């Protein structure tokens, strides 16, 4: 009976881990799991060593006060791996914690197969991360189709297993109609505004995005899907925006808004793939503080950071980064998408190609990842 030890450190990893566990149980109903995860992995049968939430810490200022506890949790995880003697250790994203556990577990047992789910974005910057990862990781499960060659060049095996966005539920026509009726949208064209998921980026981007909306058609309405901890702040910020903004943190409303939108203005990140999944044309804009901007501009190895552009091998999505992230040009690009059908159709070709390349229409990513894990263990 196979036994796998899994570690996830944040909600996105918990989601990936749960889908992987479901896929593994489909392939081997007798498989056993132990490790660290959240409620979704718990629902698949994982009894977490400790609450996953203690690992969900980001930023130097947040990590330093918690460092003694994080080191204790690392050592607790290493001891649990040794005691479980699993057939493999599967670490899911959260490399700062996961790979430190893997390094110590591998040092204690050199024949322990280590599989890491989510390849580092070495194609964009800091390529040396792959070489460092290869010291402890044997096999990688990649979310993007162009990532395996980078991992293989560093000395690991790697399979592209599909991106979880292809498994996300999309809004039905009834949900979209109900959303429009609830908010009295009628037939008005809807523009989404998505200024990020962290307080710092929202504080930087919301004023720029709000000013960019001045270029919208007179009849356009604005919807701002966000997270609960950001809702109040964005509601205050959006009071002066054009388009009588609707700010919501309800997941069902977000799904319906994505389906109802004619176009979106969004911060850079995986949200571009969520928009592609809902067939929503977009403009991407992002900025950071002056120092980070200068550092990143020297490190970047690609001419676009928008995942739709990278996966589709086009530059169909307009992108405004750093110094280019200004209301005038951003607003012009959004207005063109809102007003000109041919602009939207041209971009939709890239969105469809992106989703096809990410695995839409094939087996679900969790099952593909499970097959990759089982094939690696068979070797």
- In three-state form (DSSP H/G/I as H, E/B as E, the rest C), the secondary structure along the chain is CCEEEEEECCHHHHHHHHHHHHHHHHHCCCCEEEEECCHHHHHCCCCECCCHHHHCCCCHHHHHHHHHHHHHHHHHHHHHHHHHCCCEEEEECCHHHHHHHHHHHHHHCCCCCEEEECCCCCCCCCCHHHHHHHCCCCEEEECCCCCHHHHHHCCCEEEECCCHHHHCCCCCHHHHHHHHHHCCCCCCCEEEEECCCCHHHHHHHHHHHHHHHHHCCCCCEEEEECCHHHHHHHHHHHHHCCCCCEEECCHHHHHHHHHHCCEEEEECCCHHHHHHHCCCCEEEEECCCHHHHHHHHHHCCCCCCCHHHHHHCCCCCCEEEHHHCCHHHHHHHHHHHHHCHHHHHHHHHHHHHHHHHCCCCCCCHHHHHHHHHHHHHHC
Mean pLDDT of 165-170: 95
pLDDT tops 60 at residue 3: yes
Mean pLDDT of 251-267: 97
- In tens, the pLDDT along 59-82 reads 445 557 777 888 999 999 999 999
- In tens, the pLDDT along 311-361 reads 999 999 999 999 899 999 999 999 999 999 999 999 999 999 999 999 999
Please tell us whether the domain made up of 173-357 is placed in CATH 3.40.50.2000.
Answer: yes
Q: What's the confidence (pLDDT) of residue 299?
A: 62
Domain ranges, ordered by start, for the chain? 3-162+361-378, 173-357
Percent of the chain with pLDDT over 70: 94
pTM comes to: 0.89
Q: What's the confidence (pLDDT) of residue 295?
A: 58
pLDDT tops 60 at residue 158: yes
Q: What's the confidence (pLDDT) of residue 128?
A: 84
- In tens, the pLDDT along 286-314 reads 987 655 656 556 666 778 989 999 999 99
**Same CATH fold, 173-357 and 3-162+361-378?**
yes
pLDDT tops 90 at residue 375: yes
Mean pLDDT of 252-270: 96
Percent of the chain with pLDDT over 90: 83
pLDDT tops 80 at residue 125: no
Q: What's the confidence (pLDDT) of residue 293?
A: 58
Q: Report whether 187 contacts 262 (CB < 8 A).
A: no
Homologous superfamily assigned to 3-162+361-378: Glycogen Phosphorylase B; (3.40.50.2000)
Q: What's the confidence (pLDDT) of residue 170?
A: 96
Q: What's the confidence (pLDDT) of residue 207?
A: 97
Q: What's the confidence (pLDDT) of residue 60?
A: 47
Mean pLDDT of 141-160: 96
Q: What's the confidence (pLDDT) of residue 290?
A: 58
Q: What's the confidence (pLDDT) of residue 271?
A: 94
- The strand pairing partners of 100, in sequence order, are none
Between 148 and 68, whose confidence is greater?
Answer: 148
Lowest mean pLDDT among 36-45, 51-60, 186-195, 202-211: 51-60
Lowest mean pLDDT among 113-127, 185-199, 260-274, 349-363: 113-127
């Amino acid at each position: 009976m196979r036994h796998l030890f899994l570690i996830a450190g944040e909600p996105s990893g918990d989601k990936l881990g749960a889908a992987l566990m479901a896929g593994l149980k489909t392939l081997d109903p007798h498989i056993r799991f132990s490790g660290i995860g959240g409620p979704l992995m718990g629902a698949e049968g994982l009894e977490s060593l400790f609450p996953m939430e203690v690992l969900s810490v980001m930023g130097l200022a947040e990590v330093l006060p918690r460092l003694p506890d994080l080191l204790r949790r690392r050592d607790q995880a290493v001891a649990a791996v040794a005691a479980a003697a699993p057939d493999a250790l599967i670490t899911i994203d959260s490399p700062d914690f996961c790979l430190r556990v893997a390094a110590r577990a591998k040092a204690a047992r050199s024949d322990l197969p280590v599989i890491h789910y989510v390849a580092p974005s070495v194609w964009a910057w800091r390529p040396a991360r792959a070489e460092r990862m290869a010291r402890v990781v044997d096999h990688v499960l990649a979310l993007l189709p162009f990532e395996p060659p980078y991992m293989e060049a560093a000395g690991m095996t790697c399979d592209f297993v599909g991106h979880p966005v292809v498994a996300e539920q999309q809004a039905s026509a009834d949900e979209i109609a109900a959303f429009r009726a609830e908010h009295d949208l009628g037939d008005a064209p809807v523009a989404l505004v998505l200024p990020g998921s962290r307080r710092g980026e929202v504080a930087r981007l919301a004023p720029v995005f709000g000013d960019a909306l001045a270029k919208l058609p007179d009849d356009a309405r604005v919807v701002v899907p966000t997270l609960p901890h950001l809702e109040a702040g964005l509601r205050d910020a959006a009071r002066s925006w054009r388009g009588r903004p609707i700010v919501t943190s309800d997941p069902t409303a977000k799904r319906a808004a994505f389906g109802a939108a004619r176009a979106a203005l969004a911060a850079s990140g995986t949200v571009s793939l969520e928009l592609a999944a809902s067939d929503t044309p977009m403009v991407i804009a992002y900025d950071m503080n002056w120092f980070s901007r200068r550092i990143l501009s020297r490190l970047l190895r690609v001419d676009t950071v928008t995942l739709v552009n990278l996966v589709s091998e086009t530059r169909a999505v307009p992108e405004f980064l750093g110094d280019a992230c200004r209301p005038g040009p951003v607003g012009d690009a959004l207005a063109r998408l809102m007003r000109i059908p041919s602009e939207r159709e041209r971009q939709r070709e890239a969105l469809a190609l992106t989703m096809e390349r990410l695995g839409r229409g094939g087996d679900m990513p969790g099952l593909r990842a499970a097959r990759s894990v089982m094939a690696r263990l068979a070797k």
